[in-house]
Every structure is written in C-alpha cells, then in structure tokens.
Amino acid sequence: MAIGIFVTEMDRLDYQGGAIINAALNGRYYKKAYAAIQEALPDYTWHELKLSETLDFKDQPDLIIASRNVVPYIEAIEQCFPDAKVEKYDTWAQPK
C-alpha cells in the first residue's frame, strides 16, 4: 500500500495564550481535513505529522499533502523527498 503524509503545521516554540488558542482551533480543522483526505484517498496508509516529524520520516512517502501552515516549506519537503508527489491542501476553504 502507498504511503501518504498529511503535514499539519510546524512546531510552535512560543506558548503565549494566542499560540495555544490557535493550536486548538487549527487542530479541529486538521482533524476534519485528515478525515476528508483519508476518505478521498483510501489507497494510502496515512500519517498525520508536523513539519519536523515529516522531515525526520524514515520511509519514502508516495504522496505528501501540505496544509496552509506549511506551504512556505514545500521546497524543503520536496528536497527531503524528491520522489514524492507534494500537493497543497487549502484548509482555509473548509467550513467552520
């Protein structure tokens, strides 16, 4: 079975109130998006990872889907996994 990764976000190093609230709110969207991706692409074994976890991933994924928060890092993901197809997932378009 093919391997897929949904990259949710990068690790936050600040723990101010706003960062904690944003992490909680984004977490709900990521859960919905992850479920939608799993349903739309059932032929993959999916992993939901943060950016640092993705770059440390030992297996070669076939498909990597990047959420809006890691789009600026797509080039780094592509350099780390040159054979993987990398797509953007627009979580802004998801209903609240």
Instruction: Give me the domain span that covers residue 39.
Output: 2-93
Burial class of residue 89, CB neighbours in 10 A (0-12, 13-18, 19+):
buried
Under a CB-based contact definition with an 8 Å cutoff, are residues 38 and 46 in contact?
yes
Please identify which residue in the block is written with the tokens 């706003």. Answer: 18
Residue 16 has pLDDT above 70, yes or no: no
pTM score:
0.83
Give me Rg for the CA atoms of the chain: 13
Q: How many structural domains does the chain have?
A: 1
What does the DSSP 8-state code read for residue 83? T
Residue 25: CATH number of its domain: 3.40.50
What tens digit of pLDDT does each residue of 19-55 get? Answer: 656 666 677 788 888 999 999 999 999 999 999 999 9
